Structure 1
């Protein structure tokens, strides 16, 4: 058995605080050709999951949360629990696929079994089919989730996949661990408080500070919407090179432009509304790429929706993200989670439950960028044409955006609350329009530069 880390268990606690949310994250792979038949797919998947022990394990919690939940082998593991089959109705296009993805994001995973599921989607237009792979956020973050998907694909060689050993415990060790943590509590509790006071004050203030009544923040229902925006990774790099910005800066600037357009369309003034966005930051070392857990921290900057000029907006995004990273917010959160490892789990669980019940009104969106595979993947001997990232909404955030690169494509997977984001298409359109505008400006700037004389 291995224990869940505080953040892993925290996602389960957050889900328990709100019956309207499901904290499954996933990826939808679009494949060329006809879908495999059921028996072929089951046999293929059975062979693949033998390489990932966690896919046969379920979560077992302790009574009264005295010790951390643990992953344990499911004694009644049945692959059939984790496979579903569906087919798209007419017109079999991307919009109908997005409806299926949205419905899957709304469904909670069954905690009596390992926390993952595969959905085969047949009859996608263009002689294609899709596979939705979903796992609970307690099991994976963005990076470990995409590496899990890669491990389900065919390997490029026969080399074994390096996997770091998880933190394990022997039966009965939990009682001794709990006693040791209680004994150390007079020391660890002040350290926990000091870590929060020293480094997390800006982050905590961002979550509780008074903010405008933006339509982006508020109660959410059970149903979801999902749309996709796309960009050429080469073109995004070209924009970054022209304006001394990173790929992430350009993506965030495009998202900022899209939210600005959305607010204007809703009759809200971007000059008045302050859009604070939660940006997860990976703290996962390269040696832990294949470890299935969460290794993330976060920063919470304001996106400059008030800025009209697209280049000035990009510059402001770069400056604000750089400022928040330099301030050490992400490292402070990482330190707090490290200290939380030494606290009794009941204390950690209580903290996450409190956060889940707290009606935060300052943060209005979440945007996460995950570097995906650069090589062509194949799944059950079918080429993977595209991967669409799928993430949940929670904590009054009515929209979230996942950015995933695959080969030379950048995909923006946008999840929204069904009742309060009927105009979610505007975000996808706004992102694509903003990147096209920045690309034209970048190329115009290059053409306007004087040519150096030769000789």
Structure 2
């Protein structure tokens, strides 16, 4: 029996407080080759279950919130129940796959069973098939969810051997036993908290830095919690979801980063910002400052913790500069924004607050979370996640996985969310939208792709205009060739770059 952390438990409580909302995370893995039979896939997955204990565990609530929910072995685990099979209607393209994803992710997982499903999808164009992996957010975050692919799939075309498995469900605890164990933990909580604080205090300098960082980050988070400007992107949600996705290339993003400076995340967040700008304009709304404030999850996992099935994330709140029209100025604004957020230590402060919640009695923490979700939320417009995936191709029963497309759930009043994922040189963006109020999610997807094409074309022009090594034309002392100021496009030496000046990426969405 394992206890949930406060962040894991929060995702269950969000569902409880918002009827119809599903807090499952997901992704679509697309494969080449013939679709495996139901028996083949079930046998292959059964050979890996010993490596994923959570797949055979259920959630039990502790009475009176004396402790967080716990994971217990499912007494009647049935693997076949969790494996679904379906097919796309012709022509089996992106739109049909996205529509299926929206329907699958609109349905809540059954709380009386282990909280996951796999959907085997046949009928994709180009003789391909897909696997939709659906896992409740209380079980995994983006990083640990991605690690599940490394467990379920193979690193090469040759299928790996089954893992020895002698699993038998441990006896399920009774309600009285859960209550007694929670009461015991509650009684020992002050001692455990004091011991943890004593360990921290052994290094006064480290403790001082932690307190200063936490105070600065908390102040920054508090400032960002001011209400955003009103827009059609926030408001009540229905229970159903729409879905769309966009594509790019890792090499293009790397070239943009190397030419104009910043990080990989700066470039993809610039593309997302441009997509939201285009979405607002298409709706007849002005892309003003402080309209799009995004919750940006940040992984706080230590190296080697990727396989631990829980949530280890903090977050930053970023006001995306949708008011900036010029693509290179927008990239510079995003780069400055995230540089400032990192300097303010918002993510570190959030991580400390989550750890503190884990050292408090669960009942007041749970009550506080419920109250938070019952209040109208007006300080966040969207959520944007960026998760790095495997760099080398993966295989299922000898079939190569050609791309993985992510899905992020939305809740509260957030009508649109964006997730980003890199896999084997490919970059994908998954866009989740409320069914009733975000019928134009493909507009956001096209805006993201147009922005990447625009920035890549600007990087190509800058590379063509760069002086040859050894010539008299050199950068000024102290200048950085990667900075946007060194770009002819940024200086106005060339006309504005449009998406049409550069060939579309070969990985662009087919519709």
Partner of 1:82: 82
Of residues 276, 297, 300 in structure 2, which corresponds to 1:259?
276
Q: Is residue 338 of structure 1 aligned with residue 355 of structure 2? A: yes
Unaligned runs of 5+ in 1: 162-168
Unaligned runs of 5+ in 2: 164-172, 197-210, 473-511
Question: Partners of 1:232 and 1:413 in 2: how far apart?
Answer: 15
Query: Counterpart of 2:48 in 1: which secondary structure?
Result: helix
Query: Counterpart of 1:300 in 2: which secondary structure?
Result: strand
Partner of 1:308: 325
Question: Partners of 1:43 and 1:160 in 2: how far apart?
Answer: 9
1:62-211 alignment to 2 at 5 Å?
62-155=62-155, 172-181=180-189, 199-207=217-225, 209-211=226-228
Query: Counterpart of 1:331 in 2: which secondary structure?
Result: helix
Question: Partners of 1:86 and 1:265 in 2: how far apart?
Answer: 34
Question: Partners of 2:442 and 2:450 in 1: how far apart?
Answer: 12
Partner of 2:19: 19
Displacement of 1:387 in angstroms is 0.6
Displacement of 1:309 in angstroms is 0.9
Query: Counterpart of 2:381 in 1: which secondary structure?
Result: strand
State the TM-score, normalized to the length of structure 1: 0.92
Displacement of 1:159 in angstroms is 11
Q: 1:452 to 1:402 in 2, by over 3 A?
A: same
Displacement of 1:293 in angstroms is 0.4
Q: Is the 8 A contact 1:14 1:353 kept in 2?
A: yes
Q: Is residue 397 of structure 1 aligned with residue 405 of structure 2? A: no
Q: Is the 8 A contact 1:92 1:125 kept in 2?
A: yes
Partner of 1:6: 6
TM-superposition CA deviations, 1:1-28 (whole Å, max 9, x none): 1110110011101111101310000111
Q: Is the 8 A contact 2:8 2:311 kept in 1?
A: yes
Displacement of 1:381 in angstroms is 2.1
Partner of 1:164: none
Give the aligned CA root-mean-square deviation in angstroms: 2.7
Question: Partners of 1:447 and 1:199 in 2: how far apart?
Answer: 42
Q: 1:246 to 1:368 in 2, by over 3 A?
A: same
Query: Counterpart of 1:422 in 2: which secondary structure?
Result: coil
Partner of 2:34: 34
State the TM-score, normalized to the length of structure 2: 0.82
Displacement of 1:174 in angstroms is 2.7
Partner of 1:53: 53
Query: Counterpart of 1:226 in 2: which secondary structure?
Result: strand
TM-superposition CA deviations, 1:181-215 (whole Å, max 9, x none): 37889999xxxx999876424324423x2322111
Partner of 2:264: 247
Q: Is the 8 A contact 1:402 1:413 kept in 2?
A: yes
Partner of 1:286: 303
User: Bigger shift: 16-25 or 342-351?
Assistant: 342-351
Question: Partners of 1:210 and 1:23 in 2: how far apart?
Answer: 24
